Chain A
């Protein structure tokens, strides 16, 4: 069974640009959550999508957005990038009624 995949794995962007990250969940998983990991703030929840609807949201500015497609694949977008957006972005998927989340390998974003 294939795991959670995230693309791209590494990304370098310039301040002010925008970026889109992609996450393909495990087959059959309809919930996709996104987390940001930085050395200073640690792991922080961004948002969760279930059946194409945002179901939970963390405390991040509106520059961070996401969506989910009918095949459960999810994308997150960050507009007007700031240096502080440099982080490892992790995606996790799960079946709705099960607590266990499976994480992808992450996308490491560097903003210069």
Chain B
């Protein structure tokens, strides 16, 4: 079984600062995918970034980067130059490579950006 742990229920960051959201995972699968989603108060889940377990380089998407440390089973999300619009819930998730449509989510981190 796969499990995602997000240990930060809430984080408060000043605008323009960088922020790291923690995510650790547990799986017996050799191949898997790691995801980060953003959920604003509207409820819709917004895909941010993906990392495959065999990808050697850390994934980056604009201001988002995924710090993937396979030996430590961690997949932290780094947001550079935070903006007020980044305030939202952030979820780390994983899936088997062959079952990417079946995501297992962590409990989420509520990020608040202060002006």
Contact = CB atoms under 8 A, between A and B. Distances in A.
Interface in A32-62: 33, 35, 42-45, 48, 50, 55-56, 58
B105 A104 contact: no
Nearest to B103: A45
Interface stretch (A12-20, A71-79, A88-96): A88-96
B interface, size bucket: 20 to 34
A interface, size bucket: 20 to 34
A106 B42 CA distance: 9
Interface of B: 33, 35, 37, 42-47, 50, 52, 91, 93, 95, 99-108
Interface of A: 31, 33, 35, 42-45, 48, 50, 55-56, 58, 88, 90, 92, 94, 98-106, 108
